[in-house]
């Protein structure tokens, strides 16, 4: 059967790495002739796409129940339509491998985190041989940025600077599933950024499990700060963000680069995980709370407007009330603008999963509620401090669920706070900002989780700056079918500069 007329649907779970990998899966499928089902008018989409791809995550509690639940829902459809193909990739696939086709024999393809480029060939082979194909590699064959990509946004993009992680945090499955850290060469990254900007992208997020250790592989410990500074030389690149840095590897040259490079945004997401030194040790995170607070102090000193966000795990095995109080202390002192808070849950395959002093669920729940209440108070106070400020907002799609009811538009401030803003009454269509444009507005209210900037209603500040990002978004809308989701066309993978043909990684770090 010819793939040319077939539709696909990539369903993504998990972190930004997966979101970006899904852009590559979409790029690969488009290059092979498949069509994104969301790009068709709603009436032409049928019951389901011809190929459904799950890009899975293994870190959340019940990740496997969710996956098998999702697969179970497709079973009757597959029984009715044997031509439907179901593929499972991502971290659960890397972890469970052939078990997936044993538990869900109606799955056609299982592929791992190291071989996403094989998906179209595996789909063909499964169709041709009428047999499920399971292909999991232990190490990266090709850096994924060399694959074609179909980006989700016209004006904003992700760029991987590294994949994998050399740390061995005891709660984390990443080293086991994504392998040791592999760094891309700066020249390749910058070439990709230039290419993105030439297509209208004005904001990029540099992605890596541990961006501060970027460069260790090719012998330059200062490479990340240098990369940020080099981003500052790319004309047309208005906003640079990155995620995530590790506190143990955070060096002051990165703070200097952030402070001295105007297009590097004043926002920092730095995972704390716990404020207790004892728990950090058990987590095998090699920094201590004083070091963490020291980084925050230096960032605030050099970049006073910086918004700092974090991740915190509550109820790690062995966490006592005293340990938890330490987390509350560090949270109070850090004044995070927001925090992703997680209740510890056993992730099979991690060292922490077999620690015997697991904290009872009720205790974890209570501590979690106390932490969330404290952080909400801090977030809200921080947002109220923004009232009266003028901010330049990058207008975005999909950020404001209530925009239609409230007649506002939404976007992100430089420090990454979510902003909902009103338009001046009677604004002509031609003066309306498009997603990808920049709008300067005044903050009128700091809500717990976002800012409201209704300055335009009372005749206050409201200035639209049209950007190449807005132009790129508008051009896409003209191409897209009515009611369909318009996405940028597929860009070919970036050529490698001086990188070896095959990148080998060593065995998993988590002992799986």
Least CB distance from residue 91 to ligand SF4, whole Å? 11
Among 172, 264, 303, 452, binds ligand SF4 (CB under 6 A): 172
Q: Are strands 418-422 and 408-412 parallel, antiparallel or unpaired?
A: antiparallel
3-state secondary structure of 313: strand
Which stretch, 30-38, 88-96, 161-169, 499-507, contacts ligand SF4 (CB under 6 A)? Answer: 161-169
Among 14, 89, 112, 175, binds ligand SF4 (CB under 6 A): 175
Least CB distance from residue 207 to ligand SF4, whole Å? 12
Q: Which residues are within 8 A (CB) of 467 and not within 5 positions of it... i.e. 6 or more apart?
A: 155, 202, 238, 436, 437, 438
| E strands in 162-207 | 162-163, 182-183, 203-207
**Residue 448 near residue 397 (C-beta atoms within 8 A):** no
- CA 425, 431, 435, 438 dihedral sign is negative
Binding of residue 169 to ligand SF4 (CB under 6 A): yes
CB atoms within 10 A of CB 492: 12
The CA distance from 231 to 210, in Å, is 18
Computed on alpha carbons and rounded to an integer, the radius of gyration of the chain in Å comes to 23
What is the Cα 29 distance to its own chain's centre? 21
Selection from 47, 53, 16 nearest residue 34 by Cα: 53
DSSP letter at 360 equals P
Q: Which is nearer to ligand SF4, 135 or 138 (CB)?
A: 138
Binding of residue 165 to ligand SF4 (CB under 6 A): yes
Which stretch, 117-125, 163-171, 346-354, 405-413, contacts ligand SF4 (CB under 6 A)? Answer: 163-171
Least CB distance from residue 376 to ligand SF4, whole Å? 25
Binding of residue 162 to ligand SF4 (CB under 6 A): no
Binding residues for ligand SF4 restricted to 209-248, rule: CB under 6 A: 209-210, 246
- CA 326, 332, 337, 341 dihedral sign is positive
Q: Is 231 annotated as a binding residue?
A: no
Q: Is 510 annotated as a binding residue?
A: no
Least CB distance from residue 393 to ligand SF4, whole Å? 31
Which stretch, 39-47, 146-154, 155-163, 171-179, contacts ligand SF4 (CB under 6 A)? Answer: 171-179
CB atoms within 10 A of CB 234: 16
Interaction mask 38-77, ligand SF4, x per CB under 6 A: ----------------------------------------
Chain residues in the site for ligand SF4 (CB under 6 A): 165, 167, 169, 172, 174-175, 209-210, 246
Which residues does the annotation place in the binding site for [4Fe-4S] cluster? 15, 57, 91, 165, 169, 172
């Amino acid at each position: 059967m010819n793939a040319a007329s077939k539709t696909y649907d990539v369903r993504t779970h998990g972190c930004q790495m997966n979101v970006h990998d899904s852009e590559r899966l979409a790029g690969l499928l488009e290059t092979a002739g498949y069509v994104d089902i969301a790009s068709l008018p709603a009436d032409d989409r049928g019951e389901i796409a011809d190929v459904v791809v799950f890009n899975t995550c293994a870190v959340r509690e019940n990740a496997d129940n969710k996956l098998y639940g999702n697969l179970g829902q497709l079973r009757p459809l597959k029984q009715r339509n044997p031509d439907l193909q179901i593929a499972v990739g991502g971290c659960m696939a890397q972890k469970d491998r052939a078990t997936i086709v044993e538990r869900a024999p109606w799955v056609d393809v299982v592929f791992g985190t190291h071989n996403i480029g094989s998906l179209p060939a595996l789909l063909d082979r499964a169709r041709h041989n009428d047999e499920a194909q399971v292909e999991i590699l232990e190490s990266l064959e090709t850096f994924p940025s060399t694959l074609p990509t179909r980006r989700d946004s016209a004006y904003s993009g992700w760029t991987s600077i590294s994949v994998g992680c050399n740390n061995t945090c005891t709660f984390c499955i990443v080293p086991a599933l994504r392998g040791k850290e592999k760094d891309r060469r700066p020249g390749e990254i910058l070439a990709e950024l230039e290419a993105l900007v030439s297509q209208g992208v004005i904001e990029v997020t540099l992605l890596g499990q541990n961006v501060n250790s970027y460069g260790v592989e090719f012998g330059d410990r200062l490479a990340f700060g240098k990369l940020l500074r080099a981003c500052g030389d790319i004309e047309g690149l208005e906003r640079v963000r990155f995620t995530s840095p590790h506190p143990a590897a955070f060096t002051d040259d990165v703070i200097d680069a952030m402070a001295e490079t105007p297009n590097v945004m004043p926002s920092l997401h730095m995972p704390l995980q716990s404020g207790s030194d004892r728990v950090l040790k058990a987590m095998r995170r090699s920094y201590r709370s004083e070091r963490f607070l020291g980084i925050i102090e230096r960032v605030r000193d050099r970049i006073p407007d910086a918004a700092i966000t974090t991740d915190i795990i509550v109820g790690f095995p062995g966490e006592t009330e005293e340990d938890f109080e330490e987390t509350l202390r560090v949270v109070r002192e850090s004044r995070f603008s927001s925090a992703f808070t997680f209740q510890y849950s056993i992730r099979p395959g991690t060292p922490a999963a077999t620690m015997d002093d697991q904290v009872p669920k009720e205790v974890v729940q209570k501590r979690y509620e106390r932490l969330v209440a404290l952080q909400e108070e801090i977030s809200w106070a921080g947002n109220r401090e923004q009232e009266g400020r003028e901010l330049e907002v990058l207008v975005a799609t999909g950020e404001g669920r209530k925009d239609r009811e409230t007649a506002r538009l939404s976007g992100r401030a430089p420090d990454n706070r979510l902003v909902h803003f009103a338009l001046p009454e009677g604004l002509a269509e031609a003066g309306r900002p498009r997603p990808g444009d920049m709008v300067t507005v005044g903050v009128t209210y700091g809500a717990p989780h976002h800012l409201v900037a209704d300055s335009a209603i009372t005749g206050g500040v409201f200035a639209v700056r049209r950007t190449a990002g807005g132009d790129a978004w508008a051009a896409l809308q003209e191409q897209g079918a009515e009611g369909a989701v318009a996405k940028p066309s597929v860009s070919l993978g970036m050529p490698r500069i001086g990188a070896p043909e095959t990148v080998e990684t060593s065995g998993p770090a988590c002992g799986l």
